[in-house]
Amino acid sequence: MLKVKSNGDKLFAISGLIHYILVVFLNAFTDLGHKIIIQNTVFKIYDGDLQIILTAIVNALVLLPFIMMFSPSGYLADRFPKNIIMEYSAAFAVVITLFITYSYYQGWFYTAFAMTFLLSLQSALYAPAKYGYIKELVGIKFITSGNGVVQATTTVAILSGIIFYTVLFENMLDNSFQTKEDILLLVAPLGWLLVAGSIIEWFLASKLPNKMHKSSEKNFKLKKYFKGTYLHKNIKIMKRKKEIFEAIIALSLFWSISQVVLAIFGEYAKSELGVTNTIFVQGVMALAGVGIVIGSLMAANFSKYYINTGLIALGSIGITIIVFSVPFVTSMSMMAVMFMLFGVFAGLFMVPLNAHIQFLSPGVHLGTILAGSNFIQNIFMVSFLLLTTFFAYYGMNAKVLFYLMGITGLYLSYMVFKRYLIMTFWAALELVLRTRHIYNYSGLEHIPHAKAILLLGNHVSWIDWFIIQLPIQRRINFMMDKDIYHWRYLHPVFKKGKAIPVSPKASRDALLEAHMRLEQGNIVALYPEGAIAKTDAIGNFYRGYELIPQNYDGVIVPFYIEGAGGSIFSKTKQAGKKSFFKRREISVYFAPPVAKDIKADQLREVIISLKEKNEAQ
């Protein structure tokens, strides 16, 4: 595992972050509480197709406000400080939860059912400001970690809400109820917990700092809103960057799959597995939340140096496999494992994708883009829930719906795999190698973000290329032996990875190619030793790199790799036997840039000095 403790400490040292996390928690916890009370009431009273239909309608009531409030919520998040939006929305939630509580005590089921829409309405106005605030509060450096923490917090809130309100719901019932109105009267005191959560959220939101540096000066006109002018304009803003729009579509497909799975699982558990206790049903679904927390923290950890978009496709593939597998599971204990794994893959999928959207979005349109993301996601989710209702009405069982969602997952996986192909390869490799290695890096500040870079250092193992690439977001063009480059099965991979083949007997063309790549602002890496070292000592350096023309806008950065010698990937023998369960610690040290006309012997001395300096520490 990469060492992230110091970065985590710095993240949580940001002023206002703790208050913000608590606000995010309470917002999700309270909204989920009311939905669970209504959903569990439906579960207790209705069966079969009608249960699926009513559950889908409840979910649709939660989603519709995000569609309706697309333009207003985006406008508010761009026009006013996001902390103020959160404060006023939380105050609105206090009023709504008071009315919901009154509805419980009167036994007004349909009123309480409809109030799900109103509670979601304030969340829809709230959401772009809430998620846009991440970028403003933590900055670009911590944007993935910030999203990971927020996603984990939201999921913990959902998980806690499901367990908390379901357990209280079950314990407050007795055998006397016959109607849905009877159930509401029995559980009415739960409404005061919703009110208390909203009041605390309101108080904490009022303490959040204003981080808005630049606001939009545009005005909102209702006439344009009702005519659809804003809708058309805001969709155009979202589609300006194709990658942003594709990411939003990917998120929409994921949430659509998730909504359908959650909507049909209750009926599936009841009809196929014979489970009627809401604690068991909601508990299994809540374990997806545990998985999301794990997956979100993993995604943040794997994105220590940059947004690791390769995790997106891996998460999507995992989700698809799980959804296809669910109909073959016959026990609730195994189902619990499946839902937890679903959550892990969901976290790996969502966190980098959300962070990527925020990163790519210009600050002045961030609220609009995030509101647009909610709009499209909810259009997809409502459409999928309507289809679910339609299929259920005509007798299609939950098993078939799971298969349909699996097919949707296949398309999603193809879509993101195609977009993030190279990064997916690196992410998969990282997942495997980090089970055996711990990687530490020093001197990354010497790597320029924009200039061309010629990386030169020692060569100790077959995976040096991976070790060097791991902390650097820009893809490195490695120079490699021509015979290896043309290996039949790996040649397409090397070619896609833009490796530069070098022939020991005719290297001139390769050096000219390296120069061309440097002129284009790329990173090129080669090992002056010419081969993997057979001892721990740094060998003689060849002068080949000196023949690369120096008329490019860039620098030479030397590096030294320590700890890879003695591994199964190296040619050096390990002193003593290493425990299989102990991971190898590998460190890389990057030196400050050196002159482009540095000679091979001088470069070797720089790297030896780098080695000795870090061994002495």
pLDDT in tens, 563-577: 888 888 888 876 656
Task: Give the residue among 315, 303, 302 at the shortest CA–CA distance from 350.
Answer: 315
Q: Tokens 């709504």 correspond to what residue?
A: 96
Residue 254 has pLDDT above 50, yes or no: yes
List, for residues 3-33, the tens digit of each pLDDT value: 334 444 577 778 778 888 898 899 888 888 8
531-544: pLDDT as tens digits: 888 888 888 898 88
The 10s digit of each residue's pLDDT in 331-371 is 888 888 999 999 999 999 988 998 888 888 877 677 678 77
State the pLDDT at residue 578.
63
Q: 78-99 as b/e, with b when 16 or more CB fall inside 10 Å? A: bbbbbbbbbbbbbbbbbebbbb
Does 58 score more than 90 pLDDT? no
Highest mean pLDDT (candidates 51-55, 109-113, 454-458): 454-458
- Mean pLDDT over residues 43-61, rounded? 76
Query: Could you count the other beta carbons within 10 Å of the beta carbon of residue 273?
Result: 17
pLDDT at residue 576, rounded to an integer: 56
Which CATH class name applies to 16-208+219-432? mainly alpha
Stated pTM of the model: 0.72
Give the other-Cβ count within 10 Å of 161's Cβ.
Answer: 24
Q: In whole angstroms, what is the distance from residue 477 CA to residue 496 CA? A: 10
Residues 190/172, Cβ–Cβ less than 8 Å: yes
DSSP string across 379-423: HHHHHHHHHHHHHHHTT--HHHHHHHHHHHHHHHHHHHHHHTHHH
Domain boundary assignment for the chain? 16-208+219-432, 436-616
Band of pLDDT at residue 579, cut at 50, 70 and 90:
low
Each residue's pLDDT tens digit, 192-226: 999 999 999 999 989 888 877 665 566 666 666 66
State the CB neighbour count (10 A cutoff) for residue 400. Answer: 13
Give the per-residue pLDDT at 272: 77
Give the mean pLDDT of the chain.
Answer: 84
pLDDT of res. 6: 41
CA distance 322 to 517: 42
Task: Quickly state the pLDDT bin for 449 (edges 50, 70, 90).
Answer: confident
179 vs 231, residue with greater confidence: 179
Task: Write out the H or E segment, with its range, that includes residue 454.
Answer: strand 452-457
Are the CB atoms for 127 and 198 separated by under 8 Å? Answer: no
Q: What is the pLDDT of residues 405-444, one digit of tens each?
A: 999 999 999 999 999 988 999 999 998 998 889 999 999 9
Q: Which residue has the higher pLDDT, 476 or 391?
A: 476
E strand or H helix that includes residue 105: helix 82-106
Class of domain 436-616: alpha beta
Choose among 290, 299, 291: nearest CA to 319.
291
- Position 4 scores a pLDDT of 36
Res 517 pLDDT > 60: yes
Q: In this predicted model, what pLDDT tens digit does every residue of 272-323 receive, in sequence order?
A: 777 777 777 777 887 887 888 899 889 988 888 888 999 999 999 999 999 9
Band of pLDDT at residue 1, cut at 50, 70 and 90:
very low
Percent of the chain at pLDDT above 90? 29
Residue 395 pLDDT class (50, 70, 90 cuts): low
Residue 515 pLDDT: 93
130 vs 27: CA distance, rounded Å:
10
Q: What is the mean pLDDT of residues 169-186?
A: 82
Could you give the CA distance from residue 27 to residue 87 in angstroms, rounded to a whole number? 11
Look at residue 220 in the predicted model and tell me its pLDDT: 63
Q: Taking 70 as the threshold, does the pLDDT of residue 73 lie above it?
A: yes
Q: Does residue 516 have a pLDDT over 80?
A: yes
Q: Residue 121: pLDDT above 80?
A: yes
The share of the chain scoring above pLDDT 70, in percent, equals 91
